A and B are shown apart, each in its own frame.
Chain A
Amino acid sequence: MSAEDDLLLQRLGSIVREVDPVPVPTGELGRAAFGLRRLDDELAELVEELTAADGGVRGAGGPVRLLVFRAGELLLEAQVSGAGDSLVLLGQAVLDAGTGGTGADLGDLGDLGTVRLETARLEGRSSPLDAFGVFRFDEVPPGLVRLSVQHAGRPRLTTTWFSV
């Protein structure tokens, strides 16, 4: 490793900091991400992921992915379909009755709750859960997202970040 080589690399480094620096918004977003920590939430981890090519599952174009998250007895399923820059995320929050049971819907808890979709660019929107715990988000941009489910009397549940 010659000193001459080191100098040349340093020169390249100073050039690259001028022609291709980390964009300011990228740095700001990275710093702002710290505000997204949710230490008090229950973390729902991805426990299953299935991909169906077009057949079988209804969906216009592109493969359909099914992701299942779990936190304790709560299961959160998310089906991602569509293609390009506008995806559809259709999901359901259900209580897993455990072995032998067929999950009960969240309506059993007496509170329907809401679900929130957040993107890596720190944008978010909410949707109510219906009586079956079903929710839907349209025009979801591809990238990293996460879901949080909130209903009264229970700690908020947040999934790990996942790619759509």
Chain B
Amino acid sequence: MPDTTSVTELLRRADGGEQAAWDALVSRYEALLWSVGRAHRLGTADAADVVQTTWLRLLENLRRIEDPERLAGWLVTTARRECLRLLRRAGREVPDDDILDVPDPRSPALDTALLREERDAALWSCFAHLPERCQRLLRVLMVADPPAYAEVSLALGMPVGAIGPTRMRCLARLRALVNAPSPGAAPSSGASRER
């Protein structure tokens, strides 16, 4: 049920006190905000805080959003700022470029047990073996209603011009991992796959 009401209209109606308009804004953007938290390697509680913080900031600024059609950019910028604050507070620095070249060993393991299709489980396991930079970018790009590159850039602090080429490289790499015949490419996530 794609909601085609314009963002400008939803903001106007929310500002007028219409809960349904606010709910529509939440539905439209919550997966994107969640992906920003996950792309910054936050756990569930922190990612949830990022999303909620972003909504509260938006409520305070409903009247001040200058260009409503750029709301997504404003939201991801707000969310990223909060991600960076949480990472700093936890003493986890924002990784520099070198670290982004390998998978992050601290990233929370996502459960493949939920996936019925073996093919999907295999793909998701390969995803976890991608370099950190790829996982971050693809995590945001795989949202149902993918954000524009300008918004991805704001969400991740990545230059707009790097997004297209990185996307292409990362997907090629993922495909290579999937097609790799060796078991070396398969992760050892024992517990979840024995079920």
Residues on A close to B: CB < 8 A?
Answer: 1-2, 5, 8-13, 15-23, 25-27, 29-31, 33-37, 120-121, 142-144, 160-161, 163
Is B30 a contact of A9 with CB atoms below 8 Å?
no
**Inter-chain contacts of A9 with B (CB < 8 A):** 138, 141-142, 146, 171
Decide if the interface of chain B is mainly helix, strand, loop or mixed. helix
Q: Please measure, in the bound complex, the distance between the C-alpha atom of A54 and the C-alpha atom of B160, giving whole angstroms.
A: 42
Dominant secondary structure of chain A at its interface with chain B: helix
Provide a sorted-by-A list of 5 A–B residue pairs whose CB atoms are within 8 angstroms. Answer: A1-B164, A9-B171, A18-B120, A34-B14, A37-B59
Q: Chain A nearest CB: distance from B63 CB in Å? A: 10
Number of A-B contacts (CB under 8 A): 107
Contact of B142 among A12, A23, A26, A160 (CB under 8 A): A12
Decide if A30 touches B55 in the complex (CB within 8 Å): yes
B85-102 CB mask vs A (1 if < 8 Å, else 0) is: 100010000000000000
Bound form: Cα–Cα A160–B56 in Å: 9
- The answer to whether A19 touches B112 (Cβ under 8 A) is yes
- B171→A161 contact, CB < 8 A: no
Q: Which of B17-32 contact A (CB under 8 A)?
A: 17, 19, 22-23, 26-27, 30-31
Please measure, in the bound complex, the distance between the C-alpha atom of A120 and the C-alpha atom of B35, giving whole angstroms: 20
Q: In the complex the two chains form, what is the Cα distance from A36 to B164 in whole Å?
A: 40
Give A2 to B30 CA distance when docked, in angstroms. 27
Q: Chain B contacts of A12 at CB under 8 A?
A: 123-124, 127, 138, 142
Contact status A22-B30, CB under 8 Å: yes
List, in ascending order, chain A residues with CB within 8 A of B27's CB: 27
Residues from chain B with Cβ under 8 Å of A37 in the complex: 17, 59, 62
Stretch at the interface among B43-51, B65-73, B182-190: B43-51
CA distance A5 to B111 in the complex (A): 24
Given A34-B22, A161-B60, A18 and B142 touching (CB < 8 A)? no
With beta carbons under 8 angstroms apart, the residue of B19, B51, B123, B146 that contacts A11 is: B123
Residues of A within 8 A of B148 (CB): none
Q: Which of A17, A30, A31, A35 has the most CB of B within 10 A?
A: A30
B residues 81-138 with Cβ under 8 Å of A? 85, 89, 110-112, 114-115, 120, 123-124, 127, 138
